[in-house]
Amino acid sequence: MSKATPFSKILIANRGEIALRVQRSARELGYRTVAVYSRADRDARHVLEADQAVCIGEALPAQSYLNIDNIIDAARRAGADAVHPGYGFLAENPALARACADAGLVFIGPSAEAIEAMGHKARAKLLMEQAGVPCVPGYQGQDQSEQRLHREADDIGYPVMIKATAGGGGRGMRLVESTDTFLEALASARSEAQSAFGDPEVILEKAIVEPRHVEIQVVADRHGKALHFGERDCSVQRRHQKVVEEAPSPAVDQALREQMGETAVRAVRAIGYEGAGTLEFLLDGEGRFYFMEMNTRLQVEHPVTEAITGVDLVALQLRVAAGEPLALEQEDIRFRGHAIEVRLCAESPRQGFMPQSGTLVRWRAPRTLRVDSALQDGAEVPPFYDSMVAKLIAWGENRDEARRRLATGLEELVALGVETNQGFLARCLRDPVFAAGEATTAFVEQRQGDLLHQDEEHGQQLQALAAALLYLTDSGAGSARSGLSSRLPLIVRYQLRDEDGAATLTRLQSDRLQVVIDDVVTAFGLLGFTAEGVRLERDGVVETVALERRGDVLYFLHDGEGYAVTDCTYAAAARGAVDGGDGRVRASMNGRLVSVAVREGQRVEAGEAVLTLEAMKMEHVHRAGVGGVVSVISAAEGDQVAAGRVLVEIEADASEESKPE
Give 565-608 pLDDT, tens digit per residue: 999 987 644 333 334 567 889 887 777 888 999 999 999 998 89
Question: What domains does the chain contain, in order, with CATH numbers?
Answer: 9-108 (3.40.50.20), 137-206 (3.30.1490.20), 212-452 (3.30.470.20), 456-567 (3.30.700.30), 584-657 (2.40.50.100)
| Number of Cβ atoms within 10 Å of the Cβ of 358 | 16
By the 10 Å C-beta count (0-12 exposed, 13-18 middle, 19+ buried), 612 is classed as buried
User: Computed from CA positions of residues 337, 343, 344, 349, in that sequence, does the dihedral angle turn out positive or negative?
Assistant: negative
DSSP state of 208: P
pLDDT at res. 581: 67
Residues 335 and 308: beta-carbon distance below 8 Å: yes
d(CA 75, CA 344): 31
d(CA 260, CA 274): 19
Give 113-141 pLDDT, tens digit per residue: 999 999 888 888 889 999 999 998 899 88
Sheet of 603-604, strands arranged across: 584-586, 646-652, 628-633, 603-604
User: Computed from CA positions of residues 64, 65, 67, 70, in that sequence, does the dihedral angle turn out positive or negative?
Assistant: positive
DSSP state of 576: S
Question: Directed axis angle between helix 112-119 and helix 94-102, to 10°?
Answer: 170
In one-letter notation, the amino acid at residue 569 is T
By the 10 Å C-beta count (0-12 exposed, 13-18 middle, 19+ buried), 636 is classed as exposed
pLDDT at res. 607: 86
Give 16-68 pLDDT, tens digit per residue: 999 999 999 999 999 999 999 999 999 999 999 999 999 999 999 999 999 99
Distance of CA 367 to the CA centre of its chain: 22
d(CA 14, CA 300): 13
User: Computed from CA positions of residues 194, 200, 202, 207, in that sequence, does the dihedral angle turn out positive or negative?
Assistant: positive
In one-letter notation, the amino acid at residue 653 is D
pLDDT at res. 464: 96
Which portions of the chain are predicted below pLDDT 50?
Answer: 1, 475-483, 572-579, 656-661
List 584's β-bridge partners, or say none. Answer: 649
The reported pTM is: 0.83
| Number of Cβ atoms within 10 Å of the Cβ of 607 | 12
Residue 55 — φ and ψ, nearest 5°?
-75, 130
First to last CA, the chain: 78
Distance of CA 13 to the CA centre of its chain: 19
Residues 263 and 441: beta-carbon distance below 8 Å: no
Residues in the chain: 661
In one-letter notation, the amino acid at residue 46 is H
pLDDT at res. 123: 86
* Annotation marks residue 297 as catalytic: yes
Using DSSP's 3-state secondary structure scheme, residue 125 falls into helix
Residues 232 and 250: beta-carbon distance below 8 Å: no
pLDDT at res. 363: 97
d(CA 158, CA 172): 18
297, 507, 549, 584: the catalytic one is 297
Instruction: List, in order, residues 6 or more apart from 445 with CB less than 8 Å away.
Output: none
